[in-house]
Structures are given as structure tokens and as C-alpha cells.
Structure 1
Amino acid sequence: MSFRIAPAALPETSVKSTYDTTHADFGNHDALRYGTRSIKSEVLPGHPLEHRLNKWQETQWELKLNMARQAYGMHAPIKMMMETETVSKRHRLPVLPSSNLHLDILMGKDETIDFEDFLNDPAMSTDMLDVHAAMEHKLNLKV
């Protein structure tokens, strides 16, 4: 249990490895799925600020859970995790706009203005989805 406000500057593990990007049938690097391969970016660690920015939300969430555990007991973080898990699931059709305000309130994002707040306008979207095709896809996933 840690009360870390900001993430660590460097990743915890310094193991240098490359992940497998080979195509199942052909055996060489699959550039269509994984893009052009850069061994340097896979082996060398990134900038410490990049690591901090990637882990910022996770660290803030762990701090919030640990403080709730200390103040209210073990049931508070469990309840918070169950609520976020329930609210994270999409309950509408894929083509209908959804703001997910409850998740923003639970995560503490209701008091901040991010780029998603003013650039995530569905009216400006270029994606035109067919409602019937989306429902068929959703039904095929359940079967």
C-alpha cells in the first residue's frame, strides 16, 4: 500500500525484451497489424516523463483507493471498484452517443476540462454507423 501522488520516474522493471510480432502463417514481422518495427523503441526505455504521463491516472486511482481504505475501511475501495466496473460497461447501442457522466464523477474527471470534453462532439464525427449492422454484430457476439 503506497500513498504515491505521482508515478515513479522510471518503470519498475528494467527487463529488456521485444514482444512477438510475427505473423502466424508467414513467420515474419506483421507490419499491417503492428506498424513498422523499431527495435530501438522496444529495447531502450522511453523518456521518464513519458512513463509518468502513461501511469498518471493509474497512480491517482490507487491513491484514491488507498486513502478510502484508510479512512473508511476495506469495503470502500471494493465498492468503488465494483461501481466503476459496472458503469464502465456500455449499456446503449454502439451508434447512440453516451456521455458516461457517472464514470466521470467516480474517477474525479467531472471537475476538469480535457480535450474529450470539447473535441468529442458526435455531430462532428465522420463515422456513419448503420444501426441494424451494429445490432447484428452485437447479437453475434452474444451467441
Structure 2
Amino acid sequence: MSGSSQINMSFGYPSLRPQPEGTKTLNVPKGPYGAPDVMLHGFNRTHAAQGLVSSHPLEFSEKNWLSHQQKMDTVMLKNTQGIHAPMRLHMEQHFAQKMQRLPCLPSSNILLDTLTGRDEMIGFEDILNDPSLAETVGEPHILMEKRLGIL
């Protein structure tokens, strides 16, 4: 078999290797001596944030792990059961995101967590979120009127 006629065996899966976000240039206004004049212009956080790059190659991979895993699961589901299975799953997730309780009642989003597989993971928000400190506590009528745009 020649080198040009090799079969691509990716099956549409996303790459497993972490892809860096890329480098960005930092444009800071220069002073009269070629250095940024921080006393005159201040610390411009928008320019500083644009120039930041990942400090480690795995940082981008870890930041996007969940979305990457969902893409791989979708492609695997499509390859094994056909296009209808991931379409139905995405439709169910879309409707589960739209379901809401009244603004004064906290919601666990258990259906969405079950559909995405999030119910099997323990994360930062599962341990350190205190439901009594949630911002949903309040007068139900006022919160509902605010959601509907009446107030």
C-alpha cells in the first residue's frame, strides 16, 4: 500500500493531544523612554489580559476537558448507533436546560446532570456551595415579576 493511499482511521473523533490556544501580542502604550508609563496610563488590564498565554501545555486541555469529552462521546454515539442518537440526546439536554422552577426555589438540575454524566462527578461546586447562601432566597412575587420584566 503506497503512502498516499493510506486510510484515515479517525472516525471523526477530536484530537486527544492538547492544542495550545496560541500566542498573543501585548500592545501597551509606550512612554517617552520606550517603557510603558504606568503612572500616566495606569495598569491597563484589558491589554494585559489579551497578552496572557497558557503557562503549561496541559492548561488548555484541562480547561476544556468536559467539552472535549462530550464531543468524543457524541462522535462515539454517532458511530455506534447512528446520527439519531446524539441528536435526540442534544434535544433532551436542550429541553432540560430550559426547565426552570420559580425564582425563589433552588433547583438541583438533576435531569441535566444525568443526561450529561455530571451526576457521576464530584466537583468544586458540589462541596463548597452552601445552599443557604444562594441568591435565590427572596420574595417569590418580586422575583417572578423581575424575571418577566414587569419590574
- Give me the TM-score of the superposition, normalised by structure 2: 0.67
**Structure with bigger RCO (C-alpha 8 Å, 6+ apart):** 1
Structure 2 equivalent of residue 46 of structure 1: 54
**Aligned pair in 2 of structure 1 residues 126, 109: CA closer, same or farther (>3 Å)?**
closer
**Structure 2 residue 65 is the aligned partner of structure 1 residue 94:** no
> Structure 1 vs Structure 2: percent identity of aligned residues?
35
Query: Cα RMSD between the aligned structures?
Result: 2.6
SS at structure 1 position matched to 2:45: coil
**Match for residue 125 of structure 2?**
116
Distance of 1:133 and 1:79 partners within structure 2? 37
Would you say 1:68 and 2:77 are equivalent positions? yes
The alignment covers a number of residue pairs equal to: 121
CA pair 105-133 structure 1, distance change in 2 beyond 3 A: same
Paired amino acid for 2:51: V
On the 8 A contact 1:4/1:63 being kept in 2, the answer is no
Aligned partner of residue 149 in structure 2, secondary structure: helix
Q: Deviations over 1:67-88 (max 9, x none)?
A: 0000000001111111111101
Q: Can you give the 5+ residue segments of structure 1 that lack an aligned partner in the other structure?
A: 19-35
- 1:92-136 per-residue CA deviation (whole Å, 9 max, x = no partner) reads 11221111111111111222222222333312x163433222111
- Structure showing greater radius of gyration is 2
Distance in 2 (alpha carbons) for counterparts of 1:64 and 1:58: 10
What TM-score results when the alignment is normalised by the length of structure 1?
A: 0.70
